[in-house]
Amino acid sequence: MPKNFLSINDVSKEELLKLLDRASELKADLKAGKDQSHILKGKTLGMIFEKPSLRTRMSFEVGINQLGGFAVVLNTSEIQIDQRETRADISRVMSRYLNAVMIRTFGQEVLEETARHATIPVINGLSDLEHPCQTLADLLTIKEHFGSFDGIKIAYIGDGNNTVHSLMLACAKLDIKISIACPVGYEPKREFESEFSTITHGVGEAAHDADVVYTDVWSSMGQEKDAQRRKKVFQGYQVNKALMADYAKPTAIVLHCLPAHRGEEITAEALEKHENTILNQAENRLHTQKAVLEWLMKS
């Protein structure tokens, strides 16, 4: 059976650290102008987007090209999954053409079903349950900034969504403390909790002595109809100058997986002050995706 990357739990602690180290190497080599086109020469990555994308599309497509392979975008309106053809049959056919497939979708069960029928690696580009590729970029950014994960505390402010689910799993593997502040009824799923995670409804409690303050949009893709109500519920769960000054460490950084809604989950001032770190985080999607592609497609 092929290895898949559907969840952070698909990698061990050792594999997670190796992926981050390899991403750092690939990033340094790219900056130094070293040719990487031999690494996955001739390999083909299929990409299915059931949700729109900017960073996921660019990082995977640019990444596979830099490694010497190429990407094929499979438009859902053309392949018509479970309408014109079953997902099982599509998975089997893709396995005869491709070396791996990345899917950005709604339900985690979509990824799991594809993986059951495919004989090639399946990568979770995002689902409503987890966003493991984003977490790799987050971790690389933290490690680059602080040098290690020792003694790091992450505060996550906002919705208990897919982004924080994967982050919680990674923190449990790497012994990183994470404190999540969210409104009542918007907590992360209990299955993602560990001894390293704390759930609270107070932003000050979560952000107290934090090294990293992380936030995400209040309404994710698929929640647009609920956006106005969520704006009311999430008032007060904002990363801003006062939160950073009153609670986080003076050396704390802000992370945001983007896109950002200025004036909602983060102020324009806070976003711009930490712009370089947030853009490094976005760039690191490229380097960590390349590490994942190499890990899955060369094994």
pLDDT above 90: residue 52 = no
CA–CA distance from 211 to each of 53, 89, 224, 255 (Å)?
29, 47, 32, 11
287 carries an active-site annotation: no
- Cα 157 to Cα 20: distance, rounded to the nearest angstrom: 25
- Cα 105 to Cα 80: distance, rounded to the nearest angstrom: 14
Query: What pLDDT score does 80 carry?
Result: 74
Q: Is 140 helix (H, G, I), strand (E, B) or coil?
A: helix
116 carries an active-site annotation: no
Looking at the DSSP assignment, which residues form a beta bridge with residue 153? Answer: 177
Q: How many CA atoms lie within 13 A of 223 on its CB side?
A: 15
pLDDT above 70: residue 115 = yes
* Structure-token pair, residue 229: 């109500």
- Cα 63 to Cα 48: distance, rounded to the nearest angstrom: 16
C-beta separation of 128 from 155 below 8 A? no
C-beta separation of 63 from 293 below 8 A? yes
Catalytic residue among 104, 165, 230, 287: 104
Catalytic residue among 138, 159, 211, 216: 216
Residue 222 — very low, low, confident or very high, per pLDDT cuts 50/70/90? low
Catalytic residue among 131, 165, 256, 274: 131
Tell which CATH classification among 1.25.10.10, 3.20.20.60, 3.40.50.1370, 3.30.450.20 matches the domain 8-131+286-297.
3.40.50.1370
Give the start-to-end residue ranges of the domains of the chain. Answer: 8-131+286-297, 134-282
Query: What pLDDT score does 272 carry?
Result: 97
pLDDT above 70: residue 296 = yes
For residues 21-48, give the mean pLDDT: 98
Query: What pLDDT score does 221 carry?
Result: 60
- Cα 38 to Cα 31: distance, rounded to the nearest angstrom: 17
Report the candidate in 197, 44, 68 with the shortest Cα–Cα distance to residue 121.
Answer: 44
C-beta separation of 67 from 36 below 8 A? yes
- Cα 223 to Cα 201: distance, rounded to the nearest angstrom: 21
Chain centroid to CA 147:
21
For residues 152-168, give the mean pLDDT: 98
pLDDT above 80: residue 47 = yes
131 carries an active-site annotation: yes
216 carries an active-site annotation: yes
134 carries an active-site annotation: yes
CA angle 264, 267, 271 (to 5 degrees): 120
C-beta separation of 235 from 205 below 8 A? no
Residue 299 — very low, low, confident or very high, per pLDDT cuts 50/70/90? low
Catalytic residue among 133, 171, 182, 257: 257
- Cα 282 to Cα 177: distance, rounded to the nearest angstrom: 23
285 carries an active-site annotation: yes
Class assignment of domain 134-282? alpha beta
- If one counts every other C-beta atom within 10 angstroms of the C-beta of residue 149, the result is 18
For residues 214-238, give the mean pLDDT: 86
Catalytic residue among 66, 134, 281, 289: 134
Per-residue pLDDT tens over the stretch 258-279 = 999 999 999 999 999 999 999 9
Q: Tell me the pLDDT of the chain averaged across its residues.
A: 95
Say what the alpha-carbon torsion angle 166, 170, 171, 174 is, to the nearest 10 degrees: 180
Query: What pLDDT score does 81 carry?
Result: 72
Residue keyed to tokens 């945001």: 256
CA–CA distance from 61 to each of 2, 33, 64, 111 (Å)?
21, 19, 6, 19
In this chain, the answer to whether the domains covering 8-131+286-297 and 134-282 adopt an identical fold is yes
CA–CA distance from 108 to each of 50, 111, 217 (Å)?
12, 5, 20
Catalytic residue among 55, 256, 285, 287: 285
For residues 217-228, give the mean pLDDT: 76
